[in-house]
Amino acid sequence: MQVTENKPVAIIGGAYLAICSVKESINKSIAGIFGLSLAVELRSKGYPVTVFDRNAYDKTGYDPESEDAQAASVDLNKILRASYGTELHYQRLALESRQAWVACDKERGISERNDQDDRRLFVNGGMLRVQPTDRLGELEKETLASMERDGLRDTQFVKSSPEDRHRAESLGWKSKLLDFEIPDTEPGQTYDAVLDSLAGFVRCSNACAYWHKIAVAKGVVFRFGKEGAVESLVKAPSTLEPGKEKVTGIRSEDGALHVVDTVVAAGSFSTQVLPNLSYHLESSAGSVATLKIDINQTELWDKYSPGKFPVITWKATPRDKAGKDTGSIYVLPRTPEGYLKIGYRGIKFTNFQPAPEGTPFTQDGKWSVPLSADQCKTLPEPAIQAITEFVSIFLPEFEGVPFSSTKLCWYTDSLDNSFVIDYVPDYAEKSVFVCTGGSGHGAKFLPVLGKHAADIFENGDKSTTYMRPFWQWRPDAPRRNGLEEGPGGPRDISHASFL
């Protein structure tokens, strides 16, 4: 193990906060995807690491049904896909991560053939990308071209292609090339679709619990509850960079002062921990609903099992004139407990509230922050309507069946949908590092994200990760990805109606 002499660094998560020590000790308070991945990697490099988190994950085991579960990481399952249109860098990162998931399950002695207890972290059940119409959309064409460029076109099966259907049959994937009729078409037409045999899903909460065990085994120290809750950052004038402040540590809610450098990986709470991120990030909520299958409903139990039913994503509407994809909605196969999870991201809702005085960037003096856990159990009417329509087309046996649960899941959207992993230039002496901005697609990168982030953490512009140009601090990038809308925009939840 590499021996270093670095001073402590604090990694701060939303409900979590982490303090990491660059050369002496690293204390983190983000026990979610980004924080766990980085904590394990830094500890492997010889850094002492302490994780601070106000949530009692040592007791709940990352159970998504626990009372205060709010972090996006604490979830039944997340999609693993390498389909990224023209973004080859994320395609390659996803494939790198996929390989790591497979290796992880293999190390645990679990494979598809011997997983009777549903203990795999990654389930390679395929993903059916259903198009808005009976023809392939532009994003799909871009994805297929990228797959072909990387020599992976034979892993993708286009439903309308006789050649692809034949290949799917020969490779055992034909049963998941499902037909779904387009409503109100005469004669009846079906949506075109592409079955991605590389894709599937990750059992997210189980994965976080497993990475927590890895971290503990490696010597990462975890502090949960009040002693793990961070009250504030501690700042002081820099003597090396006059006119700038540096963050010298954090103060936890139990009154203790921790002298550390700081890393912010706070998920949807990142801007509240570090308002300097207010231009780069925005908290937004996707809508999640579940349906419950009883194990005694044997036909449904079998039909929607991971072995029979793929992940399904549907672009309910084509790409608009501005090139924006809207109407995205998905469903995952049933869990071992019988839950079908449906997610709607066609509208990712914002919750604009007055921003603290001095916040570097606001819109009409406001910024979007997560609602409380109690306020996240009911979905706005547009989300209910979209999910209800989806169920009628893709899950017809459940039309009219009440949801088992509903929840707003808070994401950390960046201005261009790419992560923000870099030192914050507003603070002197590289005293603040950020690792956040998952934008709703970070969970699948858990096994490899820490490696790339730690490279940037240690080496900055001299890091060798191919993700460096995409994750760096980018103050001149235009605010897009919905962040340009602001209060009163089409996603503002204060203007949404509830059924």
Candidate from 32-41, 274-283, 294-303 with smallest mean pLDDT: 32-41
Residue 9: Cβ within 10 Å count? 30
Does residue 58 sit in helix, strand or coil? Answer: helix
**The pLDDT of residue 184:** 92
| Model pLDDT for residues 109-161, shown as the tens digit of each residue | 987 777 766 889 999 999 999 999 999 999 999 999 999 999 999 999 999 99
pLDDT confidence bin for 262, thresholds 50/70/90: confident
**The pLDDT of residue 12:** 58
**The pLDDT of residue 26:** 42
**The pLDDT of residue 222:** 87
Which is higher by pLDDT, 328 or 144?
144
**230, 28 contact by CB (below 8 A):** no
Structure-block tokens of residue 82 = 């390498």
**The pLDDT of residue 7:** 52
Candidate from 32-46, 216-230, 320-334, 479-493 with smallest mean pLDDT: 320-334
pLDDT confidence bin for 182, thresholds 50/70/90: very high
- Residue 75, CB-side half-sphere exposure with 13 Å CA sphere: 31
Whole-model pTM over 0.75: yes
pLDDT confidence bin for 258, thresholds 50/70/90: confident
Tell me the β-bridge partners of 237: 245
Distances (CA, A) of 474 to 205, 423, 440, 469: 31, 11, 19, 9
Does residue 408 sit in helix, strand or coil? Answer: strand
Tell me how far apart the alpha carbons of residues 287 and 284 are, in angstroms, rounded to a whole number: 10
pLDDT confidence bin for 351, thresholds 50/70/90: very high
**The pLDDT of residue 214:** 96
pLDDT confidence bin for 73, thresholds 50/70/90: confident
Q: Whole-angstrom distance between the N-terminal and C-terminal Cα of the chain?
A: 57
> DSSP for 8-28?
PEEEE-SSEEEEE-SSS-EEE
Indicate the Cα dihedral angle 266, 268, 273, 278, nearest 10°. 130
Tell me the β-bridge partners of 196: 127, 156
List, in order, residues 6 or more apart from 349 with CB less than 8 Å away. Answer: 284, 285, 287, 380, 383, 408, 491, 492, 493, 496
**The pLDDT of residue 228:** 82
Residue 34 has pLDDT above 80, yes or no: yes
Which is higher by pLDDT, 394 or 57?
394
Instruction: Number of helices (H) and strands (E) in the chain: give both, helices first.
Output: 11, 24
Tell me how far apart the alpha carbons of residues 210 and 54 are, in angstroms, rounded to a whole number: 19
Residue whose tokens read 């990162």: 93
Tell me the β-bridge partners of 421: 435
Kind of pairing between the strands at 127-130 and 311-315 = parallel
Kind of pairing between the strands at 311-315 and 328-331 = antiparallel
- For the chain, the average pLDDT equals 90
Candidate from 197-211, 311-325, 383-397, 468-482 with smallest mean pLDDT: 311-325
- 486 φ, ψ to 5°? 80, -175
Candidate from 1-15, 68-82, 89-103, 252-266 with smallest mean pLDDT: 1-15
Residue 1 has pLDDT above 80, yes or no: no
**75, 205 contact by CB (below 8 A):** yes
Candidate from 16-25, 133-142, 352-361, 440-449 with smallest mean pLDDT: 16-25
Structure-block tokens of residue 247 = 């963050």
Burial of 474 (0-12, 13-18, 19+ CB in 10 A): middle
| Model pLDDT for residues 91-123, shown as the tens digit of each residue | 999 999 999 999 999 999 987 777 766 889 999
> DSSP for 440-496?
T--GGGHHHHHHHHHHHHHHGGG---TTHHHHS--TTS---TTTTS-TTSTTBGGG-
Residue 30 has pLDDT above 70, yes or no: no
Tell me how far apart the alpha carbons of residues 159 and 178 are, in angstroms, rounded to a whole number: 8
Residue 370 has pLDDT above 80, yes or no: yes
Distances (CA, A) of 301 to 123, 259, 282, 332: 17, 53, 39, 13
Nearest alpha-carbon partner for 203 in 87, 122, 264: 122
Share of the chain above pLDDT 70, in %: 91
